[in-house]
A and B are shown apart, each in its own frame.
Chain A
Amino acid sequence: MPLSAPLRVGFDYTRSLGPVLGHFMTELRARRVVGVRGSDGRVHVPPVEYDPVTAAPLSEFVEVAAEGTVVTWSWMPKPLAGQPFDRPFAWAMVRLDGADTPLLHAVDVADPSAMSIGMRVRIRWAADPIGGITDIACFEPATNPLPTTYPQFAEPSTTPTRPSPQPAGADRLARGRPPGEGGGRAGDVTMVTTPIHLDVVHSVSPEESKYLRALAHGKLLGQRCPKCHKVYIPPRGACPVDGVPTTDEVELPDVGTVTTFCVVNVPFLGQRIKPPYVAAYVLLDGADIAFLHLVLGCAADEVRMGMRVRAVWKPAEDWGTTLENIDHFAPTGEPDAPYETYEGHL
Chain B
Amino acid sequence: MKQPAAVLGVGQTHHRAKRLDVSMAGLCREAIDRAMADANVDWDGIDAVVVGKAPDLFEGVMMPELFLADALGAVGKPLLRVHTAGSVGGSTANVAVSLIHSGVHRRVLAVAFEKQSESNAMWALSIAPPFSMPVGAGAGGYFAPHVRSYIRRSGAPEHIGSLVAVKDRHNGARNPYAHLRQPDITLESVRASTMLWDPIRYDETCPSSDGACAIVLGDSSAAHRDSAWIQATAMRTEPTTFAGRDQVNPRAGREAAHALWREAGITDPLQEIDAAEIYVPFSWFEPMWLENLGFAAVGQGWKLTESGATAMDGQLPVNASGGVLSSNPIGASGMLRFAEAALQVMGRAGDHQVDGVRRALGHAYGGGSQYFSMWVVGSEKP
Contacts and interface: CB of A to CB of B under 8 A. Distances in A.
A1 interface: no
8 contacts: A11-B119, A14-B117, A54-B43, A55-B43, A266-B138, A288-B244, A323-B131, A346-B246
Interface in A276-294: 277, 279-281, 288-289, 291-294
Contact of A50 (B25, B118, B246): B25
A38 B23 CA distance: 19
Nearest to A3: B131
B23 A15 contact: yes
Query: Which of B70, B133, B153 has the largest count of A CB atoms less than 10 A from its CB?
Result: B133
B63 interface: no
A188 B219 CA distance: 46
A271 interface: yes
B70 A51 contact: yes
A305 interface: yes
B162 to A, nearest CB: 17
B23 A18 contact: yes
Given A11-B120, A323-B131, A323-B133, A264 B20 contact: no
B197 A17 contact: no
A49 B137 contact: no
B59 interface: yes
Nearest to A15: B118
A263 B26 contact: no
Contacts of B132: 322-323
A345 B242 CA distance: 10
B119 A50 contact: no
Given A262-B197, A266-B196, A346-B247, A191 B20 contact: yes
A234 to B, nearest CB: 9
Given A49-B71, A55-B70, A271-B137, A240 B148 contact: no
B243 A230 contact: yes
Interface string A214-235: 0000000000000010111000
B5 to A, nearest CB: 23
B21 A18 contact: yes
Interface in B24-42: 25-26, 29
B266 interface: no
B195 interface: yes
B115 to A, nearest CB: 8
Nearest to B71: A50
A17 B23 contact: yes
Query: Which of B123, B127, B130, B136 has the largest count of A CB atoms less than 10 A from its CB?
Result: B130
B19 interface: yes
Contact of A262 (B72, B122, B131, B198): B198
Interface in A251-271: 259-266, 268-271
Interface in B133-152: 133-138, 140-141, 144-149, 152
Given A265-B197, A268-B123, A269-B120, A5 B130 contact: yes
Interface in B220-269: 239, 241-244, 246-248
A318 B152 CA distance: 38
A261 B122 contact: no
A324 B140 CA distance: 22
Nearest to A12: B119
A265 B242 CA distance: 28
Given A268-B137, A293-B133, A16 B244 contact: no
B60 A260 contact: no
A325 to B, nearest CB: 10
B199 interface: yes
Nearest to A215: B131
Interface in A1-38: 3-7, 9, 11, 13-21
Given A194-B60, A265-B195, A270 B127 contact: yes
Interface of A is mostly: mixed
Interface string A191-203: 1001010000010
A330 interface: no
A49 B148 contact: no
Contact of B149 (A5, A49, A54, A346): A346
Given A5-B130, A266-B138, 5 more contacts: A11-B120, A14-B119, A50-B25, A50-B73, A263-B197
Given A52-B75, A266-B137, A292-B136, A5 B22 contact: no
B126 interface: yes
A241 B246 CA distance: 13
A263 B195 contact: yes
A230 B242 CA distance: 10
A186 interface: no
Nearest to B125: A268
B206 interface: no
B189 interface: no
A115 interface: no
A270 B123 contact: yes
Contacts of B70: 48-52, 55
Contact of B134 (A4, A272, A291): A272
A168 B121 CA distance: 43
Interface string B75-114: 1000000000000000000000000000000000000000
A268 B146 CA distance: 21
Contacts of B194: 265
B243 A241 contact: yes
B130 A322 contact: yes
Contacts of B25: 18, 49-50
A279 to B, nearest CB: 4
Interface in A164-222: 184, 190-191, 194, 196, 202, 204, 208, 212
A289 B145 contact: no
B145 A202 contact: no
Nearest 8 pairs of A and B residues by beta carbon: A262-B144, A18-B23, A263-B198, A5-B130, A55-B73, A346-B149, A230-B243, A288-B243
Contacts of B276: none
